[in-house]
Chains A and B, each alone.
Chain A
Amino acid sequence: MAVRLTELGAKGLLLLAALLLAFLATSYSNLFFLLLVFCGTLGGLGLASGIANLRAVRRLELQVPAGPAGAPRPVRLRLAARRSVSDLVVTLGDAPGLTLPPVAHAAGDAPTTALLPAQPRGVHAVGVVQLASRYPFGLFEVRRWIPWPGEVVTYPEPDGPAAPTGRSLDQGTPPDPVGEVAGLRSFRTGDRVRDVHWRATARRGAPIVKELDAAPDTAPEIVIDRRVEAAQLERLLAAATAAVLAAAEGRGAHLLSQGFAAAVPAGQPPPPAVLRWLASAAILPPDAPPPVRWPQDQEPAHA
């Protein structure tokens, strides 16, 4: 735990010093003494309350989902404290850019959601979480660090029409399977309305639905050759991100690059490993080997 004077506190300390000087320069006066004691108590009690405020925090749970660059993302925060904690500012690590908006009051174990500001693409390893508070009078800032061995994964901002922007991928809803129309049949209970073939229904006078084939295993391959300039890689990664997101909502895909191969399953959020790779991918020298092809008969072990 560390304590430092805020700007207001520093000015207040200067004022107190000036008043103390005036007190010593003049003959003793009860009211002068009383007011000096009041000012000193205001600062002392403010400091003690500020320390007690952060000491009350017993546990901190943070869920920071992977998010796209350039857009804020919701962070789930759950604070366990002995009593209400006020004016709490949470910073992931020591980077000011990873500071969550302040929480005026947090009590009990009720979780809250805060928006993490937009981040650049990358994987930011966080060793500790810093809690800071200027409670109660703003004269001191008390800081406390809690170990948090996590990382903030920020994948490229998707660059494609199919990409859902500004939404965390692991919160997406799984899409419906897509397949070819194999034929028509009568409506049965449980069929979806969207599968109703309206022309046939109109012709026959009874509800007719389309019968779909199972989706063929034609997942596309997204291949990224990283033997390019940095700017070009960023564009490639942005396009690949859009494609991955679209594939996750569609028929799935395989993401391939030098030293990396992973499947993006259909109808599910993209695997964290894929997002992490997109967040951390870096350029390779021109003499690096080309990307590997997707093995047709086996799944990649690390996908």
Chain B
Amino acid sequence: MRDRLLPWLLALTLIDLAFVQATGIVGGQDLLPLWLLAAASPWLRRLQRWPLCRLAWNAGVLLVFTLLVRHATTTGLLHMLEDGLVLAVLCQVHLLNNIGERQRPDLVFFNSLLVCFVTSFFAPDLPWSLLFVLHALVLAVALGVNVLVRRGGVLDDAAVRRTIASSLRHAVAVLVATAALFVLLPRDFHRQGWLGDALAAPPAGAAGLADRIRLDDERPARLGVEVVARIAAADHRREVPSHWRAIVFSVFDGATWYPQDPSDLGSRFASDPAWEPQRDGHWRRPADGAMAAFQVELYDRRGDRLPVPLGAAVLRPLQSAGTLLDGKSTGGFTLVQSEDAPAGPLVYRVDVAARPAAVPIAASTRRHFVALPERSLPAAARALAQQLGEAADGPAVAAATADWLRRHRRYALPGEPGFARNLGEFLLGTGAGHCEYFATALALLLRLQDVPCRVVGGWLAHEQDPVHGGVVLRERDAHAWVEVLDADGRWSTLDATPPHDLLARRQLDGSWLGSAWQALAAAWSTVVGFDGRRRSEWLDGLAALPGVLLRALRQPPLALAAALAAAGWFVYRRRRRQREPAIAAFERAVRAAGLSLQGGETPRELLRRAELAAVGPRRLGALRQAADRHERLRYGPEAPDPGPRTSPP
């Protein structure tokens, strides 16, 4: 009887392994033995009959368990999570290989749910969501088959097939109801738990802007596809600037970059031309060269910074109700939103000059931008700076250093094979790094060569928007680069990240599969980032739905189509209700056998024809059963008059 259930338990275990694999926390080589042991469970279970094999298996599991616990308690938090996840799936594999006729599979179900819960904190991206849907379907079927198996009794193929079909229907209903409740149920999206964030999941390693750049963050990066902003040039012949800055970092302590603070420089006018608010609500600052205007629709308001290019000279809010803008000393803007800010994107127009205006730079300011960490500076940095420092002037040094990094260092995302464990490995070339590594390496090498510079976080605009025109910024387009201070007091952008490698990971796949994947990822992003504002939008949309439908039905073609569909559905339901199940089953069996009833042919005659024809034994058996049932129904003895609800013996 358990044989009916075991394939589904195996499927659950494999999905659990996939959940853990999707987090990227546990290496593939660590999970490979578990994949193999799970896949081999149909054979390994047979070995459990011999006590010696059972003993060896249990001793092995105990040994691995002990090693994992020891490793977890002697290493850092990240390894504790890694060991915990390995432990969870090890338990699943162990349970799978030890379920006999007497053991109940309850723990497999619950452990599987727990793995699903825990991994959601570490990999809340599209693969996890697809695995979750698959998990829900398999779990429902496993529970349904478990009901039959636990009851005992006759359990033939037909009963199992019907249970699977019924469970799948239920699983779909559960998923739909879950989605509806997720949207409709009111809750506090900003609720702080009793334990605060002590037990909360660490923020997902999503590509995006942060207040600090931490190079020791080893979490795998998630390249979200949610749209952050759309940018279009007023003059469509102009190209949209590639680097849209949001936050500027100037202090590095060896592991973390901290934002530029005007108090460190003594004045808010020390490094950049300052923004001045104008009477009509726009902002202006000095700049040089010809201007080009761009309109920005900012959809992601979760960040508190406005992306603008380095050469931005005028900023004019167009649609910013409920939002307060404030020009910063680093050339950017912060934004503060009121609670009742309306839904929809924040729209503004920005005029960009060819280059920012020059600012008289004080010696103390210059020292600030060449400052190096007192400790934790990798030795490779000094050696490399010495090797590269042959150019005569600052711009040449900067260009040569950036070019060298682009050509000699590899690009990779955290979690990918070969990713550097620290900045030293990246500088040595033994490990690859992402844009923050390239920007940090460039900034350190420049500062070691006495070239003032800073690191900038923002968005890389590269994806053309064929539907709306212009370019689109997505979550995954978050980027870091360097700004170098020229001798005349102007900042210029310098990006050391190899553009080909960078864009290869961020470009849209043009195929229909790629487009579908992007659409799904975007949809899933709305679930992960669901908040009160989106809930209100959904509820408003649902409330408006009847009106929209009614308006649509006023169109004669649509009204006719709806009436026809309703009539067809009514006729279909009525016919289905009137039809005897045995007759319907017989007709299905005839169709499955590839035959059709001829005029005047009885089921027995058709059965004889099927026996003569090359109908497979399985389908022939099903046809025979269906014909028997049909015959009993049509020609069997009349059922007694039911009378009351039940009939006595």
Contact = CB atoms under 8 A, between A and B. Distances in A.
Q: Are both chains from one complex?
A: yes
Contacts of B120: 31-32, 35
Interface range on chain A: under 10, 10 to 19, 20 to 34, or 35 or more? 35 or more
B197 A27 contact: yes
Given A22-B199, A39-B113, A129 B178 contact: no
Interface range on chain B: under 10, 10 to 19, 20 to 34, or 35 or more? 35 or more
B551 interface: no
Contacts of B178: 34, 37-38, 41
A230 interface: no
A108 B163 contact: no
Interface in B623-649: 629, 632-633, 639-640, 642, 644-649
B196 interface: yes
Contacts of B136: 38
Contact of A32 (B104, B117, B154, B632): B117
A42 B140 CA distance: 9
A64 B649 CA distance: 5
A80 B144 contact: no
A146 B580 CA distance: 25
B185 interface: yes
A269 B177 CA distance: 58
Contacts of B639: 61, 78, 109
B648 A101 contact: no
Interface in A1-50: 7-8, 11-12, 15, 19, 22-35, 37-42, 44-46, 49
A89 to B, nearest CB: 7
B151 A87 contact: yes
A207 to B, nearest CB: 38
A104 B646 contact: no
Contacts of A27: 191-193, 196-197, 200
A238 B264 CA distance: 107
B110 A89 contact: no
Contacts of B170: 45-46, 49, 136-137
Interface string B355-368: 00000000000000
Contact of A15 (B110, B192, B527, B649): B110
Interface stretch (A148-156, A210-218, A257-265, A283-291): A148-156
Contacts of A34: 178, 182, 527
B173 A45 contact: yes
Contacts of A129: 646
Given A45-B174, A137-B140, A104 B113 contact: no
Nearest to B642: A59
A177 interface: no
Interface in B399-449: none
A139 B166 CA distance: 16
Interface in B171-206: 173-175, 177-178, 181-182, 185, 187-201
A60 interface: yes
> Which one of B170, B190, B198, B632 has the greatest number of beta carbons of chain A within 10 Å?
B170
Contact of A62 (B116, B188, B647): B647
A83 B170 CA distance: 16
19 contacts: A11-B110, A15-B114, A24-B193, A25-B195, A33-B187, A35-B120, A41-B174, A42-B174, A61-B639, A61-B647, A62-B646, A87-B148, A101-B153, A104-B155, A110-B629, A136-B170, A137-B170, A147-B646, A150-B649
Interface of B: 104, 106, 109-110, 113-114, 116-117, 120-121, 124, 136, 140, 143-144, 146-148, 150-155, 159, 162-163, 166-167, 170, 173-175, 177-178, 181-182, 185, 187-201, 527-530, 580-582, 629, 632-633, 639-640, 642, 644-649
Given A30-B529, A38-B136, A135-B147, 18 more contacts: A7-B106, A11-B106, A28-B187, A29-B200, A30-B530, A31-B121, A37-B181, A42-B174, A58-B645, A87-B151, A104-B151, A104-B155, A109-B639, A110-B582, A134-B150, A137-B140, A138-B143, A147-B645
Interface of A: 7-8, 11-12, 15, 19, 22-35, 37-42, 44-46, 49, 58-65, 78, 80, 84, 86-87, 89, 101-105, 107-110, 129, 134-139, 146-151
